[in-house]
Every structure is written in structure tokens, then in C-alpha cells.
Chains A and B, each alone.
Chain A
């Protein structure tokens, strides 16, 4: 019990070693002084009377013993302290060698905590927490790379196979069809890369904090104008209800990226005959507001909601409905929301209408 109490703290180790050293030295010192005093008494009372020379010699002996005793006590204390510190630092050496063995190529292991003094334990705990977070981040990146590699492999296989098979194709119509398919596959790859770049840019923007006053209505109008060029039929289904003169503090580029992804998601995976509604929902105080996009999503089930913002998640029905979907749109929106400190909420009502709400925009 006592040993356990002492070995888990450097302070306790030092205290115990000092007490032991001083106690041991005092005991030895006590024995030596006792013997000298005994000799003096014996000579004083049993022998002939003491002469001055004898007395001086005896006093020198006592001085010598006292000096030797002090030196001995100090020596023993120093030795005990060195041994105690060395013993106490052994777990730290184990921790240091464990930390030295940490490598990027190998799975990271937590530092061993057995026998670590309580004074150093918080440092080790923090270090282990850091390792845990790093391991999670590495695993996250590994999964991301694997997902990305997987997503890029299919369009890459399409492009390569269309090219290899097309080389032998003689008919011009068939060759043109293959070329068109190759371009479509390349566009698919481009979409994956652009989505990832949008998130990377958002991360950079988060560091730079590029917030500025912007008009929500103008931003929505600008996006719809651009969409009317690339997808005029789908654009005619979009109904926007945003109040005029509404100004918020946000990043216009990221706002547009979020809106584009929300609308693309609604167009690709929603009911092609149903309207897509954009609404601005002010909160009670008027200081904040939410942007909401709602569309009919007949293929979606409530249990799909938690996975909608997962990277590369298309869902079975979504895949059938829109094989060109990448499963990145809502993940991008979720990532941008984190950057802009917005809250993303998803809901599917009884009429199977998906509502995506971005809350936390600050009005000017």
C-alpha cells in the first residue's frame, strides 16, 4: 500500500528518499557520537585526570565526527535523491521511447500510462488525446482518399474504355456517340473535383474570415440567372420568396456555392415535375434568418435523412433516378455550413417534400 502510494508520484518519491537518507544518516551519526561520549565519560570517571592535550584531541575527534557526519548525511541524501529521481523518471523514458516509435506509416499507439508519476500523467493524457484526434483525422483522410479514388475510378474507366473501344470503331455515328459519352464522363470527373475544391476553398476562407455585407435577393437572382442558361427547364420550376432589401453578413462566394449545390441536388434527385421553393425565414428578433430550399423527393425515406450529408452517398433510389449524381452536393453544403457557422437541418414531411434549412445567417 505504502509502496504503491510512493511510486506513483515524483514528489512522494523524493520525500521518502530524503526522509530515508536523513533518518539513516542521523541514526549512524547518533551511534558514532554516542560511542565517543561513552569513551569520554569512561575516561573522565575511571581513568586518571584528563590533561589539556588529551581534551583538545578529544574535541578535534568530536569536530571531525561532526563534520564527517554532516558530509555523510549530505552524501546519503544526494545518493538517495539521485536514485529516487532516476527510478521515478524510468516511466518517462518509456513514454519518450514510445513517442519516438510513433510513425506515419504504422498505426499510432497511445503512450503507456502504467507507472507514470501523477505529475506527468496530465501531459501523457493530453498527448494521448492528441494522438487519438490525429488518428481519427488520419482515418478520416484515409477514408476520404479511398472514397475519392473509388469515385474517380469509374469515370476514368469509362473514359479509357470508350477510347480503347472507340479506336476500332469504323462508323462515324457510333464514334461520335462514344466521343459524347467520353465528354460526359469527363464532366462527371470535373464535378467531383470541383465539389472537392469548393470545400477546400471554404476551409481556406474560414481561415481568412472573408465575411462582407451581401443582399440575399441579389445573390439568389444571380444564381437563378446563371441556372437559366444551363438548365432553363429546371429553372422555370424554381420559386424564390426572398424579401427585398434583406442584407446579411456572409461570404457571397460560399453562399452561392451552397445555393448552387442545394438547387442542383433538388433538380437531380427531386421530382422533375414538382416546384423547387426557395424561402427566407427570419427569426422572431429579426437579427438572424434561415435560407430554406424545399422540393418533392418521392424516392427518399425518413431513414435516409441522416445519410444525406454523407460524402458520396446517393441512395439506391437516387442512383436509379439520376445516375449522374455524385452524392457530394449536400456534403459540400454541410461542409460550407460548418465554415460559416450555420446550422444545417433536413426534414422530410408526410408529402415526401425534402426541406433543407440553413439557419444562423446574421442580418445587418
Chain B
């Protein structure tokens, strides 16, 4: 799950980036509208959290450009502007949600996860495969009702594969979904994560959930 945070407050973006990364999101940060547009050209994001009053290019212009490009990215506007007309304008321009500062962090995360579900046409926060269940709201994997301890990256990889069952992901494609643009890691780390994930699943009694298709990548059938 890749998230773009467009926020000119360095303090707020530091706190949000830390928290979303802790939840397994790959978070890129843009401090102004121009940087946001560049990021949107370079990557496809699942969700964008967008401030409105930005240097260089305003948030509404970023939103307008994104919607003109037909990108499927869901947009949550996070702004200090609380007037009804601000909300109406942003929603009419294609924002999917609007939250006024100051906000509750848990609410922001819940709304972001709801947008993520809408992005993939899901109605509930549960992904299931046999005895394995993922609660995408609690970010928790369980096998036969017992919690399966996974790292945020392992969880994110498993969620991605379960969300797109049958679809193969190359290492690069998975890397782009798991890591932000500033990460120093290489896509080789995906193979390591898959390996540790497979071990944990096997120890919980789930074998051969993740297939390796030579030349195509990984998938959950």
C-alpha cells in the first residue's frame, strides 16, 4: 500500500510518516504541490493525503491534475480550512474524503483504510483465504483464529497478494508497493520478505500459499 503525503508542515508530516510506516504503508512525502505532481507522475499511489494550502502549486490544483490524468488514486484532503465551501469545492474536484485539522490520528487512519478498501472495491475489512484471515483495519493476520505475528512489511506483502489473488507481482512491482521512494533498500529485499513470510505461514500450518512463477513473480492462486 503506497501512500503519498502532501503536507508542508515538516512536523506534521514527520509524525504521520512515522505512524503510517509503522502500519506497513510505503509513505512518500511531498512538501509542496510541485513535488506532489512529480511524485504522482513517477508512481501510482493507492491513497494521497493532501493539504490544500501548499507552496508553489496549491492542493486543489494538484487534485485537479490528478483527476485529469484518470489515476485511480484515492484522495483524502487534510486541511485547516473548515468552511463548508472548502469541503464542497474539494469534493467536487474529485476528493474522496475531507478531514479538518486538528484531527484524531486513529480517525485519519480509519478513513485512509476505508479509502484503500474502496480503491479495490472491498466492502468489509477482511481478506480470507482458507484458514488464513487478514483484518485490514486492525492490520492483523490470524490462522484458525490465532494471531500470526508478522512484521509490517510481511503483512503488507501478504495483504497485497491476497487483495489481488491470481495476479502475479514481480519483485520490482512488490518493492514499489512496499517501499517509499527514499528507501535505501533494493528490490532483493522482497525475496527475503517472501522467504520469512513463507516460514511463518508454514509454522502456522499453511504451506505453499505463495507461488513463485518463474519470469512472472509471486502470486496467491
User: Chain B interface residue count: which class?
Assistant: 20 to 34
A154 pairs with B18, CB closer than 8 A: no
A90 to chain B, nearest CB (A): 41
Contacts of A162 in B (CB 8 A): 11-12, 14-15
A178 CB-CB contact with B under 8 Å: yes
**A216 CA to B102 CA in the complex, in Å?**
44
Q: Bound complex: CA of A166 vs CA of B11, how far in Å?
A: 12
A149-B82, A319-B55 are contacts. A157–B19 as well, Cβ < 8 Å? no
Q: Please give, as numbers and ranges, the residues of chain B lying within 8 Å of A149 by CB-CB distance.
A: 80, 82
Residue B202, interface by CB 8 Å = no
How near does chain A come to B98, taking the closest CB pair, in angstroms? 14
Q: Is the interface of A mostly helix, strand, loop or mixed?
A: helix
Assess whether A150 is in contact with B16, with CB atoms less than 8 Å apart. no
Q: How far is the CA of A53 from the CA of B55 in the complex (A)?
A: 113
Instruction: Kindly state whether residue B10 has any CB partner on chain A within 8 Å.
Output: yes
Report Cα–Cα, A150/B53, bound state, in Å.
Answer: 11
Residues of A within 8 A of B15 (CB): 158, 161-162, 164-166, 178, 181
Q: Which residue of B lies closest to A168 (CB)?
A: B22
Asked if B103 CB lies within 8 Å of chain A CBs, one says: yes
B:1-32 near A, CB below 8 Å:
8-12, 14-16, 18-19, 22, 32
The answer to whether the Cβ of B185 comes within 8 Å of any Cβ in the partner chain is: no
Contacts of B106 in A (CB 8 A): 164
- Is there a chain A Cβ closer than 8 Å to B119's Cβ? no
- Chain A: CB-nearest residue to B83: A146
| B122-133 interface code vs A (CB 8 A; 1 in, 0 out) | 000000000000
Residue ID in chain A nearest B51 by CB atoms: A154
Digit string of A128-144 for contact with B (CB within 8 Å is 1, else 0)? 00000000000000000
Annotate A172-203 by CB proximity to B: 1 below 8 A, 0 otherwise: 00100110011011000000000000000000
Q: Measured between alpha carbons, how far is A159 from B105 in the docked complex, in Å?
A: 12
Q: Is the CB of B105 within 8 A of A165?
A: yes
With A164-B105, A165-B16: A157-B80 Cβ-Cβ less than 8 Å? yes
Q: Which of B12, B18, B56, B83 contacts A158 (CB 8 A)?
A: B12
- Taking a contact as CB atoms under 8 Å apart, the answer to whether B10 and A157 are in contact is no
- The reply to whether B103 and A181 form a contact with Cβ atoms under 8 Å apart is no
Contact, CB under 8 Å: B101 / A153: yes
A112 to chain B, nearest CB (A): 30
For the complex, give the distance between the alpha carbons of A160 and B16 in Å: 11
What residues of chain B lie closer than 8 Å to A302, measured between beta carbons? none
A204 within 8 A of B: no
B88 within 8 A of A: no
Q: In the complex, A316 Cα to B106 Cα: how many Å?
A: 32
Residues of A close to B191: CB separation below 8 A: none
| List of B residues within 8 angstroms of A169 by Cβ | 18
B165 within 8 A of A: no
> Which B residues touch A159, using CB under 8 A?
102
CB distance from A319 to the nearest CB of B (A): 5
Tell me the smallest distance from the CB of A132 to a CB of chain B, in Å.
Answer: 24
* A323 contacts partner chain B, Cβ-Cβ < 8 Å: yes
B189 within 8 A of partner (CB) = no
Is A181 a contact partner of B80 (Cβ separation < 8 A)? Answer: no
A320 interface residue (CB < 8 Å to B): yes
Given contacts A153-B100, A165-B18, A168-B22, contact A158 B55 (CB under 8 A): no
* Chain A residue at smallest Cβ distance from B20: A165
B81 at the interface (CB under 8 A from A): yes
Is A235 part of the contact surface with B, judged by Cβ < 8 Å?
no
- Whether A168 touches B80, Cβ cut-off 8 Å, given contacts A316-B55, A319-B55, is no
Q: Closest approach, in angstroms, between the C-beta of B171 and any C-beta of chain A?
A: 29
Expressed in whole angstroms, the minimum distance between the Cβ of B102 and any Cβ of chain A is 4
A93→B104 CA distance, assembly (Å): 54
- Which residues 95-147 of B have a CB within 8 angstroms of A? 100-106
In-complex Cβ contact of B56 among A151, A182, A316 (8 A): A316
Q: A154-B80, A161-B105, A164-B105 are in contact. Are A323 and B18 (CB under 8 A)?
A: no
Cβ of A156 within 8 Å of any chain B Cβ, yes or no, is yes
Residues of chain A contacted by B8 (CB below 8 angstroms): 319, 323
> Among A149, A154, A159, A169, which residue has the most Cβ atoms of chain B within 10 A?
A154
9 A-B contacts (beta carbon < 8 Å): A149-B80, A150-B82, A153-B102, A157-B9, A158-B9, A161-B19, A165-B19, A181-B15, A182-B11
Q: Told that A161-B19, A162-B11, A181-B11 touch, could you supply 17 new A-B pairs with CB distance under 8 A?
A: A149-B80, A150-B81, A154-B12, A157-B9, A157-B101, A158-B9, A159-B102, A161-B12, A162-B12, A162-B14, A164-B105, A165-B19, A168-B19, A177-B14, A184-B11, A316-B56, A323-B9
